[in-house]
Amino acid sequence: MPVLPTLAAARPAAVVFAAMGVLWGGYAAALPDIKTMLDVSETQLGLVLFMTPISAVIAMLLAPRIGAALGRVALPVAAAAMALAFALPGQTASLVLFPLAMLACGATTGLADVLMNARVATLETERKLHLMNLCHAAYSFGYAGGAVGTGAMRAAGWPPSAVMACLAGAALVMAAMSLERDGTIHGLRKPGGAKGGGLGLVPFIGGVIVLIAFMTENAAENWSALHIETSLGAAPGAGALGPAALALTMGLARLAGQGLSGRISGAALLGGGAAISAAGLIIAAAATSPAMAYAGFIVMGLGSSVIAPTAFSMVGRAAPDNARARAVARATLYGYFGYFFGPPLFGFLAGSAGLRAAFVLAACLLLAVPFLARRLASDADKS
């Protein structure tokens, strides 16, 4: 299908993916300044961030009910709430109020994440298109844009309060662009007497693959700027290029992955992506210069780019029509334990063993993906 009609079909969800990328990309690039603002160590910062995954998981559990109640405006409302929440972390240096601000960021991100992935699954079914890689590419490009923009603002001397407010404003505009005449996400409510739609372990296995992918991916995204600036002595603007390089590479690779997904089996794509991603993390961990670290993050981005979208697509294809949104929502919940718990956990490891050791651990986690991928493909074939 031509590019423009495909983009038009994906637009309602893709702009929310992009908005989320802008917010988290900017936040990751601003993290060194936020750490300075709070006057904490890496370990303390990891502890402060721990409120984020707790609120996100609660929101994800409630997301199907909230989405069903909001009806056709569920995704725009969730995206707008997420944008507004991200204005908060830059406004306070209080170790009491900052975790509450991150609690709001986690809750709104968790809600938006479930709904946007479920909306993509609905759009794929309704329009007979493969859109998951394209939408995840929008997140990556948004992340790169947020990181680069934040790097420029930091270099110009902007404080975290101004940086985060600017990012929130951009995301709010994108949230408005997600409005559509009927954006109802069908299949969020569980039919009476249903037992999971006959999915078995498919959403769980797919979710664990996504968990590993997001735990390692976000460890690099959230801590790469600190690694480049503190471990390798680069300037603040140069540090921001770490997450930007990773995200931009993942965006381009996901566009290519949309074509590869029709030619290569899901299990092969997952296994190959995990191996390449692990190699990139090892390069970044062993880096002796910022250039070597950038190379590692680029290689990691090439591999990681296809893991989460492929797993989500495999879960969606295996689910019955009336359970597809719930299946993808459930896999999203499992997977995003890694997205939110990864940064604080790696923060604890970085504080005790160093950032290099944290990246090596992330590479080791990826070794489980090929085995899980074969099981997911087997269970999907039986469904």
Structure tokens at 113: 């994440």
On whether residue 148 sits in a domain, the answer given is: yes
What angle (nearest 5°) sits at the alpha carbon of residue 146, between those of residues 297 and 100?
105
Quote the CA–CA distance of 115 and 96 in Å, as a whole number: 30
Whether the Cβ atoms of residue 183 and residue 357 lie closer than 8 Å to each other: no
Within 8 A by CB and 6+ apart from 217, the residues are 246, 250, 277, 300, 304, 308
On whether residue 193 sits in a domain, the answer given is: no
pLDDT in tens, 301-343: 888 888 988 888 888 777 777 777 788 888 988 887 776 667 6
pLDDT given at position 5: 72
Whether the Cβ atoms of residue 234 and residue 120 lie closer than 8 Å to each other: no
Q: Higher-confidence residue: 166 or 359?
A: 166
The DSSP-derived string for 15-50 is: HHHHHHHHHHHHHHHHHHHHHHHHT--HHHHHHHTT
Whether the Cβ atoms of residue 251 and residue 14 lie closer than 8 Å to each other: no
Residue 196 has pLDDT above 50, yes or no: no
On whether residue 214 sits in a domain, the answer given is: yes
Q: For residue 366, what is the domain's CATH number? A: 1.20.1250.20
pLDDT given at position 102: 92
Q: Higher-confidence residue: 226 or 82?
A: 82
Task: Give how many domains the chain has, as a whole number.
Answer: 1
Helix (H) or strand (E) holding 325: helix 324-353
Arithmetic mean of pLDDT over the chain: 83
On whether residue 190 sits in a domain, the answer given is: no
**For tokens 């502890």, what's the residue?**
47
On whether residue 192 sits in a domain, the answer given is: no
On whether residue 246 sits in a domain, the answer given is: yes
Quote the CA–CA distance of 342 and 363 in Å, as a whole number: 13
On whether residue 352 sits in a domain, the answer given is: yes
Please report which confidence band the pLDDT of residue 48 belongs to, taking 50, 70 and 90 as the band edges. confident
Range of the domain at 328: 3-183+198-382
Give pTM, 2 decimals: 0.79
Q: Kindly list the distances between the CA atom of residue 132 and the CA atoms of 67, 98, 141, 209, 369, in Å, as whole numbers in the listed order.
A: 20, 34, 14, 16, 19
On whether residue 191 sits in a domain, the answer given is: no
Within 8 A by CB and 6+ apart from 259, the residues are none
Whether the Cβ atoms of residue 32 and residue 139 lie closer than 8 Å to each other: no
